A = this chain, B = another copy of it.
Amino acid sequence: MFTLAEENYLKALFHLESESKDGVSTNAIALKLKTKPSSATDMIQKLAEKKVVAYQKYKGAFLTKKGKLIAADVIRKHRLWEVFLVEKLNFQWDEVHDIAEQLEHIKSEELITRLDTFLDHPNFDPHGDPIPDENGVIKSSDKKLLSELEENQQGICVGVKQSDSKYLQYLDKLSINIGSKIKVLNVEEFDGSKTIEVGGKSYFISEKSAQNIYVIN
Protein backbone atom coordinates (compact mmCIF):
# COMPACT_ATOMS: atom_id res chain seq x y z
CA MET A 1 0.00 0.00 0.00
CA PHE A 2 1.31 3.42 -0.89
CA THR A 3 0.82 6.69 0.91
CA LEU A 4 -0.67 9.78 -0.63
CA ALA A 5 2.76 11.39 -0.93
CA GLU A 6 4.24 8.28 -2.53
CA GLU A 7 1.43 8.10 -5.05
CA ASN A 8 1.99 11.71 -6.00
CA TYR A 9 5.67 11.12 -6.62
CA LEU A 10 4.92 8.09 -8.78
CA LYS A 11 2.40 10.04 -10.77
CA ALA A 12 4.79 12.95 -11.29
CA LEU A 13 7.48 10.53 -12.41
CA PHE A 14 5.07 8.94 -14.87
CA HIS A 15 4.30 12.28 -16.47
CA LEU A 16 7.92 13.47 -16.51
CA GLU A 17 9.19 10.24 -18.02
CA SER A 18 6.99 10.64 -21.05
CA GLU A 19 8.51 14.06 -21.67
CA SER A 20 12.19 13.23 -21.39
CA LYS A 21 13.96 10.14 -22.68
CA ASP A 22 16.57 9.86 -19.91
CA GLY A 23 16.06 9.29 -16.23
CA VAL A 24 14.19 12.06 -14.49
CA SER A 25 16.26 14.35 -12.24
CA THR A 26 15.25 14.84 -8.65
CA ASN A 27 15.26 18.54 -9.43
CA ALA A 28 12.60 18.14 -12.10
CA ILE A 29 10.47 16.10 -9.72
CA ALA A 30 10.81 18.71 -7.00
CA LEU A 31 9.82 21.42 -9.45
CA LYS A 32 6.73 19.50 -10.56
CA LEU A 33 5.61 18.77 -7.02
CA LYS A 34 6.48 22.22 -5.72
CA THR A 35 8.79 20.83 -3.11
CA LYS A 36 12.55 21.01 -2.53
CA PRO A 37 15.13 18.84 -4.34
CA SER A 38 16.28 17.40 -1.04
CA SER A 39 12.76 16.18 -0.32
CA ALA A 40 12.56 14.61 -3.75
CA THR A 41 15.85 12.80 -3.23
CA ASP A 42 14.61 11.42 0.08
CA MET A 43 11.40 10.14 -1.39
CA ILE A 44 12.96 8.72 -4.54
CA GLN A 45 15.38 6.75 -2.38
CA LYS A 46 12.48 5.42 -0.37
CA LEU A 47 10.59 4.43 -3.51
CA ALA A 48 13.73 2.79 -4.88
CA GLU A 49 13.87 0.61 -1.77
CA LYS A 50 10.28 -0.35 -2.43
CA LYS A 51 11.27 -1.41 -5.95
CA VAL A 52 8.88 0.90 -7.74
CA VAL A 53 11.59 3.27 -8.88
CA ALA A 54 15.01 2.55 -10.37
CA TYR A 55 17.51 5.07 -9.14
CA GLN A 56 21.24 5.75 -9.15
CA LYS A 57 22.73 8.65 -7.30
CA TYR A 58 23.19 11.70 -9.50
CA LYS A 59 21.84 9.78 -12.49
CA GLY A 60 18.12 10.40 -12.21
CA ALA A 61 15.21 8.03 -11.65
CA PHE A 62 12.63 6.14 -13.63
CA LEU A 63 9.69 3.90 -12.83
CA THR A 64 10.00 0.13 -12.70
CA LYS A 65 7.29 -1.99 -14.28
CA LYS A 66 5.58 -2.19 -10.90
CA GLY A 67 5.89 1.56 -10.42
CA LYS A 68 4.36 2.25 -13.81
CA LEU A 69 1.36 0.12 -12.93
CA ILE A 70 0.73 1.97 -9.71
CA ALA A 71 1.15 5.36 -11.37
CA ALA A 72 -1.19 4.40 -14.21
CA ASP A 73 -3.75 3.30 -11.67
CA VAL A 74 -3.65 6.65 -9.89
CA ILE A 75 -3.95 8.44 -13.21
CA ARG A 76 -6.87 6.19 -14.15
CA LYS A 77 -8.66 7.19 -10.98
CA HIS A 78 -7.91 10.85 -11.48
CA ARG A 79 -9.31 10.88 -15.00
CA LEU A 80 -12.37 8.81 -14.18
CA TRP A 81 -13.24 11.21 -11.39
CA GLU A 82 -12.78 14.13 -13.78
CA VAL A 83 -15.29 12.56 -16.13
CA PHE A 84 -17.68 12.12 -13.22
CA LEU A 85 -17.31 15.72 -12.12
CA VAL A 86 -17.94 17.10 -15.60
CA GLU A 87 -20.54 14.68 -16.91
CA LYS A 88 -22.55 14.07 -13.76
CA LEU A 89 -21.98 17.10 -11.55
CA ASN A 90 -21.78 19.60 -14.41
CA PHE A 91 -18.48 21.11 -13.46
CA GLN A 92 -16.62 22.87 -16.23
CA TRP A 93 -13.53 21.31 -17.70
CA ASP A 94 -11.19 23.69 -15.99
CA GLU A 95 -12.64 23.39 -12.50
CA VAL A 96 -12.11 19.72 -11.84
CA HIS A 97 -8.40 19.20 -11.52
CA ASP A 98 -7.90 20.08 -7.87
CA ILE A 99 -10.83 18.00 -6.73
CA ALA A 100 -9.76 15.01 -8.82
CA GLU A 101 -6.31 15.44 -7.29
CA GLN A 102 -7.89 14.55 -3.97
CA LEU A 103 -10.32 11.92 -5.17
CA GLU A 104 -7.61 9.96 -6.97
CA HIS A 105 -6.24 8.78 -3.63
CA ILE A 106 -9.41 7.12 -2.37
CA LYS A 107 -8.62 3.47 -1.77
CA SER A 108 -11.19 1.03 -3.14
CA GLU A 109 -10.89 -1.16 -6.21
CA GLU A 110 -14.60 -1.81 -6.16
CA LEU A 111 -15.39 1.90 -6.12
CA ILE A 112 -13.43 2.53 -9.29
CA THR A 113 -14.85 -0.51 -11.04
CA ARG A 114 -18.36 0.71 -10.31
CA LEU A 115 -17.57 4.32 -11.14
CA ASP A 116 -16.17 3.19 -14.48
CA THR A 117 -19.37 1.29 -15.21
CA PHE A 118 -21.54 4.19 -14.03
CA LEU A 119 -19.71 6.47 -16.47
CA ASP A 120 -20.07 3.92 -19.25
CA HIS A 121 -16.39 3.05 -19.53
CA PRO A 122 -15.07 6.32 -20.90
CA ASN A 123 -11.82 6.30 -22.85
CA PHE A 124 -10.92 9.95 -22.44
CA ASP A 125 -11.12 12.50 -19.69
CA PRO A 126 -12.59 15.97 -20.21
CA HIS A 127 -9.20 17.31 -21.29
CA GLY A 128 -8.94 14.67 -23.99
CA ASP A 129 -6.33 12.61 -22.16
CA PRO A 130 -6.74 8.85 -22.39
CA ILE A 131 -7.89 6.87 -19.36
CA PRO A 132 -5.73 3.81 -18.61
CA ASP A 133 -7.69 0.55 -18.32
CA GLU A 134 -7.76 -1.73 -15.24
CA ASN A 135 -4.39 -3.13 -16.26
CA GLY A 136 -2.72 0.22 -16.66
CA VAL A 137 -2.78 0.02 -20.43
CA ILE A 138 -3.29 3.33 -22.18
CA LYS A 139 -5.02 3.03 -25.51
CA SER A 140 -2.69 4.69 -27.99
CA SER A 141 -4.91 7.52 -29.01
CA ASP A 142 -5.26 9.20 -32.35
CA LYS A 143 -5.85 12.43 -30.52
CA LYS A 144 -5.30 15.33 -32.87
CA LEU A 145 -6.33 18.96 -33.20
CA LEU A 146 -9.52 19.92 -34.95
CA SER A 147 -7.36 22.20 -37.08
CA GLU A 148 -5.61 19.15 -38.52
CA LEU A 149 -8.79 17.73 -40.00
CA GLU A 150 -9.41 18.23 -43.68
CA GLU A 151 -12.60 18.71 -45.62
CA ASN A 152 -15.15 15.96 -45.08
CA GLN A 153 -13.17 14.39 -42.25
CA GLN A 154 -14.82 14.10 -38.91
CA GLY A 155 -13.85 13.46 -35.33
CA ILE A 156 -15.20 13.21 -31.83
CA CYS A 157 -14.33 15.99 -29.46
CA VAL A 158 -12.32 14.62 -26.55
CA GLY A 159 -11.18 17.83 -24.93
CA VAL A 160 -9.54 21.19 -25.23
CA LYS A 161 -5.95 22.32 -24.88
CA GLN A 162 -6.44 25.48 -22.86
CA SER A 163 -9.70 26.02 -21.14
CA ASP A 164 -10.76 29.29 -19.64
CA SER A 165 -14.37 29.95 -18.79
CA LYS A 166 -14.98 32.32 -21.69
CA TYR A 167 -13.71 29.84 -24.19
CA LEU A 168 -15.85 27.09 -22.78
CA GLN A 169 -18.86 29.34 -23.06
CA TYR A 170 -17.96 29.96 -26.68
CA LEU A 171 -17.84 26.21 -27.25
CA ASP A 172 -21.23 25.90 -25.68
CA LYS A 173 -22.62 28.26 -28.30
CA LEU A 174 -21.23 25.95 -30.95
CA SER A 175 -22.83 23.08 -29.02
CA ILE A 176 -19.39 21.47 -28.87
CA ASN A 177 -18.99 19.17 -25.91
CA ILE A 178 -17.04 16.08 -25.02
CA GLY A 179 -18.31 13.35 -27.25
CA SER A 180 -19.69 15.76 -29.83
CA LYS A 181 -19.25 14.55 -33.38
CA ILE A 182 -17.68 17.31 -35.44
CA LYS A 183 -17.59 17.16 -39.18
CA VAL A 184 -15.51 19.53 -41.30
CA LEU A 185 -17.64 20.76 -44.17
CA ASN A 186 -15.25 23.27 -45.63
CA VAL A 187 -11.74 24.63 -45.09
CA GLU A 188 -10.88 28.15 -46.13
CA GLU A 189 -7.44 28.00 -47.74
CA PHE A 190 -6.16 31.48 -46.97
CA ASP A 191 -6.70 31.54 -43.20
CA GLY A 192 -7.41 27.93 -42.26
CA SER A 193 -10.86 28.79 -40.93
CA LYS A 194 -13.45 26.07 -41.18
CA THR A 195 -17.14 25.46 -41.50
CA ILE A 196 -18.08 22.59 -39.27
CA GLU A 197 -21.20 20.61 -38.55
CA VAL A 198 -22.15 19.79 -35.00
CA GLY A 199 -25.45 18.25 -34.03
CA GLY A 200 -27.01 18.86 -37.42
CA LYS A 201 -26.16 22.57 -37.47
CA SER A 202 -23.24 24.25 -39.14
CA TYR A 203 -20.92 26.79 -37.57
CA PHE A 204 -17.89 28.83 -38.49
CA ILE A 205 -14.66 28.41 -36.56
CA SER A 206 -11.30 30.17 -36.85
CA GLU A 207 -8.04 28.31 -37.25
CA LYS A 208 -6.86 29.57 -33.87
CA SER A 209 -9.94 28.20 -32.21
CA ALA A 210 -9.70 24.90 -34.06
CA GLN A 211 -6.13 24.54 -32.76
CA ASN A 212 -7.50 24.41 -29.28
CA ILE A 213 -9.86 21.49 -29.70
CA TYR A 214 -8.79 17.87 -29.48
CA VAL A 215 -10.57 15.22 -31.50
CA ILE A 216 -10.13 11.56 -32.25
CA ASN A 217 -11.19 10.01 -35.50
Contact = CB atoms under 8 A, between A and B. Distances in A.
Interface of A: 85, 88-91, 95, 98-99, 102-103, 106-108, 110-111, 114-115, 118
Contacts of A107: 102
When all copies of this chain in the complex are counted, the total is 2
Nearest to A107: B102
Contacts of A99: 106, 108, 111
A115 B99 CA distance: 13
A118 B86 CA distance: 12
Contacts of A108: 98-99, 102
Contacts of A110: 91, 95
B102 A89 contact: no
A102 B91 contact: no
Nearest to A4: B4
19 contacts: A85-B111, A88-B118, A89-B111, A89-B114, A89-B115, A89-B118, A90-B114, A91-B110, A91-B114, A95-B110, A98-B108, A99-B106, A99-B108, A99-B111, A102-B106, A102-B107, A102-B108, A103-B103, A103-B106
Nearest to A88: B118
A22 to B, nearest CB: 36
Q: Which 3 A-B pairs have the closest CB atoms?
A: A89-B114, A102-B106, A99-B108
A37 to B, nearest CB: 26
Interface centre among A95, A106, A107 (most CB of B within 10 A): A106
